[in-house]
Structure 1
């Protein structure tokens, strides 16, 4: 007797195309991440890490670094001359004008305002006539109390080789200061980072905290009436 063959149904196979696409993309991303990490590891030795800026209560002593030379900006004698000038300046008191001023006091307060304005003019004239010179700069007042430092053509700073001398002017200045009280601040021109690094290493070797600020090549040094502050790094 002929056996009856049982017919089996062919179930449709599952489509794995989407899964393969996801898997391929994942492998590609992992390969890209691995390549990126490898590049970072290779370049790690050439990246210059700049520490975060932090405030300090120490007194800053400023140096300008330009033309691959270091110039001392801070000058105690300049501070003394400014103190002498400020003592002689007139004390200009701002008139206190009431909100509801009686009409009969109008002329009185107008006279007070005029006196105040004349006092300010006289004060500013005295400041504008002040100037001070040392071996590196001519210093004068601008903008209601700011100090402008114009570099002298004849000024000579110290280069990389001279900075490494233990008897250099830079080292002598640092030896007169106290790292527990003072910190060293550099204003660095774009052409002078190599010299800046040498000077910074010397300051660090004596235990000083160091701060620095990049400035454009042609920017004139101006310290505001409240002084200048660069955080240590």
Structure 2
């Protein structure tokens, strides 16, 4: 009786170690991504995003904060003086010059341009004569029609400790204003955030909306012909 021979496979067996390593790494990455997405989904429901600037119909009342003291910028008497000056200025109308000027009208349009330039020159001269002073600033117009505020060296504002006093000038000004009509706008120098925070808390406690704008120490305080815009935050 013959014995049955068992065939043996002489081909080497396949090594799956590399495949298992790749599979393990892939699963690990997918688990990490899933965990990260889950954390984002949880936080998305709890984070409240507040806008940096909000529109308002209220009128701003400005204060500058420098040397860790607060100075009142808005001045109703200044507004009246500026308005009186502006009403005395000549109305300089820009001449409408057609693209193709007939030769017989050339001199006419040259005269119109000269009249306009003379009007602007007179207007600028009147603006440059304007000068207004109060306790904190000396105000003048620049050549481009902006109102420039030069701080008086001798002027003293209120520091953070004085601002906490219920009888402070700042507190008195806020009580004269109306939080339904006005909001408080701060122009803040880099060295004055401590005083700014105290003043902001005081304004908030009296029901005012607040906006603020940081400016460098060496930047001149200017208000353009259309005023200055600081939205509430």
Structure 2 length as normaliser, TM-score? 0.83
1:156 matched residue in structure 2: 156
Deviation of 1:7 after TM superposition, in Å, equals 5.1
1:187 matched residue in structure 2: 187
2:71 matched residue in structure 1: 71
The 3-state SS of whatever aligns with 2:110 is helix
How many aligned positions are there?
220
Distance 1:25 1:153 in 2: 69
The 3-state SS of whatever aligns with 1:83 is helix
1:144 matched residue in structure 2: 144
Change (3 A) 1:2 1:196: farther
Is 1:165 the counterpart of 2:165? The answer is yes
Distance 1:226 1:51 in 2: 24
The 3-state SS of whatever aligns with 1:202 is helix
Distance 2:24 2:190 in 1: 50
Deviation of 1:21 after TM superposition, in Å, equals 4.9
Distance 1:112 1:166 in 2: 60
Distance 1:129 1:18 in 2: 86
Is 1:110 the counterpart of 2:74? The answer is no
1:44 matched residue in structure 2: none
Distance 1:179 1:221 in 2: 25
Cα RMSD of the aligned pairs, angstroms, is 2.6
The 3-state SS of whatever aligns with 1:183 is strand
1:211 matched residue in structure 2: 211
Deviation of 1:24 after TM superposition, in Å, equals 4.9
1:119 matched residue in structure 2: 119
Deviation of 1:140 after TM superposition, in Å, equals 0.7
Give unmatched runs, 5+ long, in structure 1: 42-48
Distance 1:148 1:14 in 2: 82
1:17 matched residue in structure 2: 18
Give unmatched runs, 5+ long, in structure 2: 44-48
The 3-state SS of whatever aligns with 1:95 is coil
Distance 2:56 2:4 in 1: 98
Distance 1:170 1:134 in 2: 16
The 3-state SS of whatever aligns with 1:211 is strand
Distance 1:112 1:122 in 2: 15
Distance 2:223 2:19 in 1: 66
The 3-state SS of whatever aligns with 1:172 is helix
Distance 2:108 2:15 in 1: 100
Deviation of 1:50 after TM superposition, in Å, equals 6.9
Distance 1:133 1:201 in 2: 30
Deviation of 1:51 after TM superposition, in Å, equals 4.3
Is 1:58 the counterpart of 2:58? The answer is yes
- Decide which moves more: 135-144 or 76-85: 135-144
Structure 1 length as normaliser, TM-score? 0.83
Change (3 A) 1:157 1:26: farther
